Amino acid sequence: MISESSIEQLLNIVAIEDVVGDYVNIKRSGSRFKGSCPFHDEKTASFILTPSMGIYKCFGCQKAGNSVGFLMEIEQYSYVEALKALASKYNFELEETFDGTKEEYEAGRLKKQNQQVAMNYALQHFMTNLWDKEEGKAIGQSYFKQRGYSTAIIKKWQLGFASDSWTNLYAAVKKDKYDLETFADVGLLRKKENEEFYDWYRNRVIFPIHSVSGNVIAFAGRILGTKSDKEPKYVNSPETELYHKSNVLFGMYQAKTAIKKAEKVYLVEGYTDVISLAQAGVENVVASSGTALTEGQIRLIKRFTNNITVLYDGDAAGQKASERGIDIILEAGLNVRVVAFPEGEDPDSYCQKLGPEKFAEFLNENEQNFIYFKARSLFEEAVLKDPILKAERIKDILVSVSKIPDGIKRNALMFELSRICEIDEAILTTELNKLTKKSNFDKQKTISEELRLITNQAGVVMPKEPLTDEWQEKALFKLLLEHADKSFVGDTTVFQTVLSEFSNDPELMFTNEVIGLIFHELNEMDVPDWPGQKYYVNHSDSNISQLAIQLLNKNYTLSEHFADNHIYVLDENSNFRHELVSVVLHLRRKKLDNLIRNKISELEKSDVDVEYILEHISYLNEAKLRIANELGGTVYQI
């Protein structure tokens, strides 16, 4: 996890106009910048940057945010990827928190860096074999050309060739004095019983697998010639610090721009399917690489589009894989359609057979709702003659429909299913409701267990009701009334410290309406200086003046709840610094409690990313625990 202080330091040096300027033609307009919005088509520029606040706002499509949010939106980065992209741009080293000792963390970081070096080295080695070595030209290039790949497409996808040798890569690595163990860790080399190394990829064409950001993180090697019983068709990289196959889709790096533009992704099974379709002009295509579709892969797709069209092989195995994948796609709330291929054909072979134009037409004309795809078996002769078998097939379709989080979508599909199956819609809906109820119960049970584990792990209590205690807010204003001009640290006054704290964290909202008005007024001042006690005692708003007079009354007690919340004011004149830190920490804790409660309420909605919300709750609980630890110890030292 990246530390909060590190994020804050990074954002302090980031100039939003530099970040956005890499994507948008912007021009200065007074103290701000203006340009055409990159997120929607517009004739009149309505995209505004405010450098002083580090934010952007489009008054056309209403998108807004800071530099991190902009990169997340335009590049479809995750939060961490956006932070790392900014850090790279500004040559800033992010500080990451870690378990264990600093030495263990540094060792892990160095291991990952070395593994990336090994992968980059191997990529160049395999490409050199393909283009510069006679064996690669004769065998590797011939294979790719036979598949119909152009030179341009081979180079674009960085395809390569592994020599028919046990020591080709090993000898090169040893000669260049790289660490052999690192190459073994990432599956490029293997060890014999006598501890001698040998090449894992031999006499195979190489398909590099990239991360979303473009780093090569794994390889797949396809055997050449006839497959024997002893040799698998493909050998693949093992799981490493760089590569977690359940979270990776082949071709996503190359396809992400086309996916965003088309607002749809084609999902296929194999590497050659992706490359053949890409060469034919269907660039918004990715592959699950022969493995069962995973939730991690679906989350990756969801970063770029909510629309998936599944293209799987026309044989029975391909159709079964397609059906298994449909349910997990539906459960994630995505829209899924299917293209069924003729028996014995796959996307690669059929694309080669039809050619680019006719293949594109075939996709458009044969794309169908998943219900039609799953219902096709209903019309088989054996099913028509067996009502029990027909009922089982219909229930199988209903199970898929029940996975859809959106109730409106579920109900809309019932009409179509009723027409196809020739069964009364009310009967189907009744059965669907039973399945949905059970699915929701199981889901809520799982979520409740996850929340319990998160709570136990963090050692904090989940808030059941919004926290509305206003005493800390009044205490903060009282501290300002009595100590605002006093030094807090060095030349920084108490007032400057408080104003900075709340200006930098707008989510620290106030429950008390009067306190909220006071801070809003302070933030709106051109040159915010502490107005003084008299200003508030004589304020034109009677509510503000009455509160100021009340708090300045020496007989006034803030709250008996201070003792309950472990805020002990021993001597205000000598202890105001400690009290200020304590009050601010309590306000932060209250904000976290309410954010956690809001996140928990989001879990009750149907179309949400449950795993992401649970991770967010866990993060908020960790932050809350840190505050609790600070409150329990020495929270301020002069």
For residue 404, pLDDT beyond 70:
yes
Whether 235 is in a domain gets the answer: yes
- Indicate whether 38 and 120 sit together in one domain: no
- Whether residue 111 sits in one domain with residue 76: no
Q: Does residue 291 fall inside a structural domain?
A: yes
Could you tell me where the DSSP H helices lie in 494-569? 494-503, 513-524, 533-537, 542-552, 561-564
User: pLDDT band for position 470 (50/70/90)?
Assistant: confident
- Secondary structure tally for the chain: helices H, strands E: 29, 18
Residues 14 and 135 in one domain: no
Residue 379 lies in a domain: no
For 242-317, strand residue ranges (E) read: 265-268, 285-287, 307-312
Comparing 68-82, 305-319, 538-552, the range with the smallest average pLDDT is 305-319
Is 260 domain-assigned? yes
Residue range 115-132, pLDDT digits in tens? 999 999 999 999 999 999
Do both 496 and 618 map to the same domain? yes
Q: What residues make up the domain containing 352? A: 247-366
Tell me, what's the pLDDT at 569? 43
Task: Tell me, yes or no, whether 251 and 126 share the same domain.
Answer: no
pLDDT in tens, 314-331: 666 656 666 777 888 888
Say whether both 501 and 480 belong to one domain. yes
Taking the C-alpha atoms of residue 463 and residue 466, their distance in angstroms, rounded to an integer, is 7
Q: How confident is the model at residue 252, as a pLDDT?
A: 92
- Whether residue 238 is found in the same domain as residue 259: no
Do 174 and 316 sit in the same domain of this protein? no
d(CA 68, CA 86): 8
Tell me if 587 is assigned to some domain: yes
Query: What average pLDDT score do residues 145-165 get?
Result: 95
Q: Say if residue 164 is in the same domain as residue 274.
A: no
Judge if 120 and 219 occupy the same domain: yes
Domain count for the chain: 4
Q: Is 537's pLDDT higher than 90?
A: no
Domain boundary pick from 200, 223, 243: 243
- Verify that 251 and 237 share a domain, yes or no: no
Q: Has residue 120 been placed in a domain?
A: yes
Mean pLDDT of all residues in 522-549: 81
Res. 50: pLDDT tops 50: yes
Tens digit of each residue's pLDDT (9 = 90 or more) over 410-448: 877 888 788 877 788 888 888 887 777 665 555 555 545
**CATH number of the domain within which 320 lies:** 3.40.1360.10
Q: How far apart are CA 389 and CA 316, in angstroms?
A: 18
> What CATH number did the domain enclosing 54 receive?
3.90.580.10
pLDDT band at 463 (very low <50, low <70, confident <90, very high): very low
Cβ–Cβ < 8 Å for 450, 617: no
Query: What is the three-class DSSP state of 287?
Result: strand
Domain-located, residue 184: yes
> In this structure, what DSSP letter does residue 341 have?
P
| Least confident stretch, 20-34, 530-544, 571-585 | 571-585
Distance CA 250, CA 182 (A): 24
**CATH code, domain with 159:** 3.90.980.10
* Residue 432 belongs to some domain of the structure: no
Per-residue model confidence as pLDDT tens digits over 271-310: 999 999 999 999 999 998 767 788 888 888 887 888 999 9
Own/partner pairs, 65-68, CB within 8 angstroms, 24+ separation: 66/11, 66/16, 67/11, 67/14, 67/16, 67/19, 67/20, 68/11
Domain boundary residue among 188, 216, 243?
Answer: 243
Q: Give pLDDT, residue 442.
A: 54
* pLDDT > 70 in the chain, percent: 78
Q: Which of 313, 345, 366 is the last residue of a domain?
A: 366
pLDDT, the chain, mean: 79
Q: Report the pLDDT value the prediction gives residue 319, as an integer from 0 to 100.
A: 66
Select the more confidently predicted residue: 400 or 118.
Answer: 118
pLDDT of residue 135: 95
User: Residue 232 has what pLDDT?
Assistant: 85
Same domain membership, residue 254 and residue 233:
no
Q: What pLDDT shows up at residue 66?
A: 86
